[in-house]
Amino acid sequence: MTGKREPIHGQWSGRLAFILAATGSAVGLGNIWKFPYIAGENGGGAFVLVYLVCIAVIGIPIMMAEVMLGRRGRRSPINTMRVLAAEEHAGAYWQWLGWAGVIAGFLILSYYSVIAGWAVAYVFRAGSGLFTGQTADGVQSIFNNLVSEPERLLAWHTLFMVMTMAVVARGVRSGLERAVRLMMPSLFLILLVLLGYAWNSGAFEQGIHFLFHPDFSKITGNGVLIAMGHAFFTLSLGMGAIMVYGSYLPARISIAKTTLVVSLADTAVALMAGMAIFPIVFANGLEPGSGPGLIFQTLPIAFGHMPYGAFFGMLFFVLLVFAAWSSSISLIEPAVAWLVENRGMKRVSASMLAGVVTWLFGLLTVFSFNIWSDFRPLSFIPVFRDSTIFDLLDYLTANVMLPLGGLLIAVFAAWLMSRDSSVDELGMGDGFFYRVWRFLVRYITPVAVSIVFLRAIGIV
Ligand code: PHE
């Protein structure tokens, strides 16, 4: 069957709306909170280089594949995979790929929401002038005070989950599109302000050197896996978020061009965040590898010392919350779309159900930073010796589930789907660019992901 399907849940108003929504999904805590701290933990330059290579040769082609599958199936990822598998005469078990994505989405959102809650808390801390004139030690103790109290973290996590489900309940068009339109350019601007501060911090060169000078002796097989996992995480790939957004994409809009814009914007934001943060880290004698608290322990120092710092600080955290918000809704959309399609639920009740489940899982992360901070469930495995439950959740989803999901998406799009179907849906003919894409998803992605996995486990 090649006739085009109609979308069930509505469509984006056009090309720009899709770009904004997909950029909203891609740009989030992954770029500003996670990228700097994992780059710091994994030695800087070499890690960043591996990450950039993964974005280019794995991330962008997979993003094209995911959008393509979504638009062809026009349903939640579970049903899209079921319908496309039937159409391409592949096994019905392909719908399990959709299920795996839904589970990954729940797990990721469960901790994502807790960290986004920190950002909400920091809006008020920055706005009240709490950071003015603070030293690195002062800023650190403000952070420790926040995360050491489970009730507080729980309250902020709850607030962020309510915000997320409120938007999801309203559907893809209203609210979301408009918010993202304003917020993305503002985020860019404020990152420029921070870069300006970092430039004058006295350690700009040291920060840049750390980020862009690859020293391969500093990266391990596990570090390579983390860099690759992050390429999936930051582009929202491998779990159906971009697939479900693709299912709302009007026909005839170029998938290749839009995907390229989204990936470039995402990468630019991450690099800008890194270039703003590391100079501050070095100028204040902080540890680049200090973990998930890194931006919350560095940027407030900058806000505490720049003119109008309380204003800029508040603005920054407001934008960070928006960036996280526009990502969190895409994490849960595959599940909600499925509940609406298959359980006949209204969007509002589907959102509430999904939200409650995610909120409950979030407790694991809330407690990982205080009452369970010494609990290391897998300490008998060397790489997980120091990992809390939060660390393990993050590792399992970003470094295992997303790359595996991406691998299977690549296999389906390039091996099981007929050449005619993909030429038809991508709509860029079957010339040079199509062939490069197909070569990358057919050979490079599956081989690269497999090798990185096997190396990290120690088999290769
Ligand atoms: N890309 C988002 C970020 O970088 C996180 C995300 C992952 C969103 C997977 C959707 C799916 O913050």
Q: Atom 9 (ligand 1): residue with closest C-alpha? A: 236
Read off the pLDDT band of 36 (50, 70, 90).
very high
Q: What is the model's pLDDT at position 238? A: 97
Is the model more confident about 143 or about 306? 143
Collect all residues with Cβ–Cβ distance below 8 Å to 89 and sequence separation of at least 6: none
Read off the pLDDT band of 175 (50, 70, 90).
low
pLDDT 10s digits, 348-370: 999 999 999 999 999 999 999 99
Q: Which mutation among 107, 243, 327 tests ligand 1's pocket best, with the greatest number of atoms within 8 A of CB? A: 327
pLDDT 10s digits, 285-333: 899 999 999 999 999 998 999 888 999 899 899 989 989 998 999 999 9
Using the predicted structure, report yes or no on whether residue 173 has a pLDDT greater than 80: no
- Tokens 């996590």 found at: 157
Q: What is the model's pLDDT at position 276? A: 93
User: Are 334 and 9 in contact, with CB atoms under 8 Å apart?
Assistant: no
Q: Which residues, judged by CB distance below 6 Å to any ligand atom, belong to the binding site of ligand 1? A: 25-26, 28-31, 108, 233-234, 236, 239, 241, 327, 330-331
Q: What is the model's pLDDT at position 178? A: 66
Highest mean pLDDT among 2-6, 380-384, 435-439 belongs to 435-439
Q: Atom 6 (ligand 1): residue with closest C-alpha? A: 236
Q: What is the model's pLDDT at position 288? A: 94
To the question of pTM greater than 0.85 for the whole model, the response is yes
- Tokens 């393990």 found at: 392
pLDDT 10s digits, 183-196: 778 888 889 988 99
Centre of ligand 1 from the C-alpha of residue 102, in Å: 13
DSSP conformation class of 251: T
Which segment of 152-161, 166-175, 189-198, 233-242 scores lowest on mean pLDDT?
A: 166-175
Centre of ligand 1 from the C-alpha of residue 235, in Å: 6
Q: Which mutation among 51, 271, 330 tests ligand 1's pocket best, with the greatest number of atoms within 8 A of CB? A: 330
Which segment of 4-18, 76-90, 282-296, 441-455 scores lowest on mean pLDDT?
A: 4-18
**CA 155/CA 159 separation, integer angstroms:** 6
**CA 88/CA 65 separation, integer angstroms:** 15
Read off the pLDDT band of 2 (50, 70, 90).
very low
- In order, the DSSP letters of 283-318 are HTT--TT--TTHHHHHHHHHHHHSTTHHHHHHHHHH
**CA 306/CA 379 separation, integer angstroms:** 42
Which segment of 6-10, 249-253, 392-396 scores lowest on mean pLDDT?
A: 6-10
**CA 281/CA 49 separation, integer angstroms:** 20
Domains of the chain: 15-456 (1.10.4160)
Is the model more confident about 179 or about 343? 343
H or E stretch including 162? helix 150-170
% of the chain at pLDDT higher than 70: 98
Centre of ligand 1 from the C-alpha of residue 327, in Å: 6
pLDDT 10s digits, 77-132: 999 999 999 999 999 999 999 999 999 999 999 999 999 999 999 999 999 999 99
**CA 62/CA 238 separation, integer angstroms:** 8
Is the model more confident about 271 or about 10? 271
**Tokens of residue 12, six digits:** 């984006």
Collect all residues with Cβ–Cβ distance below 8 Å to 401 and sequence separation of at least 6: 100, 103, 104, 107, 238, 239
- Average of per-residue pLDDT values in the chain: 93
